[in-house]
Structure 1
Amino acid sequence: MTDSAAPPRKGRPRNADADEAILAATRTVLAEQGWGGLTMGDVAARAGVAKTTLYRRWPSKNELVVSAVAVLFDELEMADLGSLQADIEAVVQQFADLLAQPESRSALLALFAEATRDPALRLRVREAITDPQKQLVRQGRAAAQARGELPPDENPAQARADVDVIFDTIAGAVEHRMLVTGEPASPEWIRRFTTLLLTPMTAPESH
């Protein structure tokens, strides 16, 4: 009788603590040295791991930096707080808090600046950071539709386009506020921005 069980995986299992240390070291070195100054050797030394360990996990500098920044966005969540206004204000505050951290801000700026010159890197940023975060918008819309705040989606293509526009509007406004003008995203600003965003979305349709 043939044993159908899957063969054991070769090699050592990945160490979550080592991964976390490597990604944190990547953001630190990126903030200190910039994209051009960051090397895999510097990251390995800062994280206290061998370069071979680093390359086994991330075969290139691009993949390493994208992962180091993407993990920050994994912490964002769209909580169901009972209203679309409250839900969006909460996630915008989370995003603003992320950008308020000097190391996170520096790493994000360095990655985005390099991505403007590297189409392959830009694609990886979209795949690993931008597109996954659009799920937050979809979750917020679904919760609002379940509460009756928004009408159900009748056209899937239009719904996808709406999600793209809403995401771009939120991300673009917060990033411009904090990274370009250098102004804080205060609770008052977040409330005003969210109100302006939602007014056309929640206004009753005229017949």
Structure 2
Amino acid sequence: MQSSTSAARPGRPRSAAADAAILEATREALVELGWSKLTLGDVATRAGVAKTTLYRRWAGKNELVVDAVAALFDELELPDRGSLAADIEGVVLQFAAILDLPEAKSGLMAVVTESTRDDALRERIRESIVDRQKRLVLEGRARATARGELPPETDPEEAARTADLIFDMVAGAVVHRTLVSARPADEEWVRNFTRVLLQGLGGPA
């Protein structure tokens, strides 16, 4: 099986503006054409760059779509709404809103399906989307600890394992609710989910 990870190639430095235009064009193509009809040639035309520019940056369509979707999740922020419960509700509502975007739905579902046959692609999804967003859990716990809502963490390894579990619970629940069950993660659902999550953390419900 060919590796999904593109090797570093010599050449001019990457342009952040060009990368942003390419990822935006990829998301537009996902909405207008869908996964099956999206091609690197179409993305290059939309972004106003040469097709070779895409191949210097991404090994293929799978990797490109992962990065285009990852950029959406990079916009997630943990709001400071005064309490751990309110903070969680705020970020979960943001997460659900991103998953409701047509480009996020089609892109994420497609690359997850493709990753079942491609270990390197699965690793790219984990690194580009999952691992980068675990920062939100760490920020939330640190803020809640400073407020006195959660006890201080004394074991770094246990803290890391707990952060992984919390992220899996939140992401898994929201993805299942919105993409698998196709039901809204509205304010009432998010409030009830947060209450259950906090009961497990031992924090204020």
Pairwise TM-score range, normalised by the shorter structure: 0.7 to 0.9
**4+ runs of 1 displaced by more than 4 Å?**
31-36
Please give the alpha-carbon distance, in whole angstroms, between the structure 1 residues aligned to 2:30 and 2:172.
23
Task: Give percent identity, aligned residues only.
Answer: 60
Please give the alpha-carbon distance, in whole angstroms, between the structure 2 residues aligned to 1:201 and 1:15.
40
Please give the alpha-carbon distance, in whole angstroms, between the structure 1 residues aligned to 2:16 and 2:78.
29
Partner of 2:5: none
Please give the alpha-carbon distance, in whole angstroms, between the structure 2 residues aligned to 1:123 and 1:36.
22
- CA displacement 1:71-114 (0-9 Å, x = unmatched): 01110011222211011000000001101112221111111111
1:159 counterpart = 2:159: yes
Question: RMSD of the TM alignment (CA)?
Answer: 1.9
Unaligned 5+ runs, structure 2: 1-10
Instruction: Give the 5 Å matches for 1:12-31.
Output: 14-16=15-17, 18-31=18-31
Note the C-alpha offset of 1:54.
Answer: 1.9
Note the C-alpha offset of 1:154.
Answer: 1.5
1:95 counterpart = 2:91: no
Please give the alpha-carbon distance, in whole angstroms, between the structure 1 residues aligned to 2:129 and 2:201.
26
State the TM-score, normalized to the length of structure 1.
Answer: 0.86
- What secondary structure, in the 3-state scheme, does the structure 2 residue paired with 1:193 have? helix
Please give the alpha-carbon distance, in whole angstroms, between the structure 1 residues aligned to 2:59 and 2:203.
50
Please give the alpha-carbon distance, in whole angstroms, between the structure 2 residues aligned to 1:125 and 1:13.
21
Partner of 1:117: 117
Count of residues in correspondence between the two structures: 194
Instruction: Give the 5 Å matches for 1:13-162.
Output: 14-16=15-17, 18-162=18-162
Q: Greater CA radius of gyration, 1 or 2?
A: 1
Is the Cα–Cα contact under 8 Å of residues 35 and 114 in structure 1 kept in the other structure? Answer: no
Unaligned 5+ runs, structure 1: 1-9
With over 3 angstroms needed to count, the CA separation of the structure-2 counterparts of 1:126 and 1:13, relative to structure 1, is closer
Is the Cα–Cα contact under 8 Å of residues 149 and 203 in structure 2 kept in the other structure? Answer: no
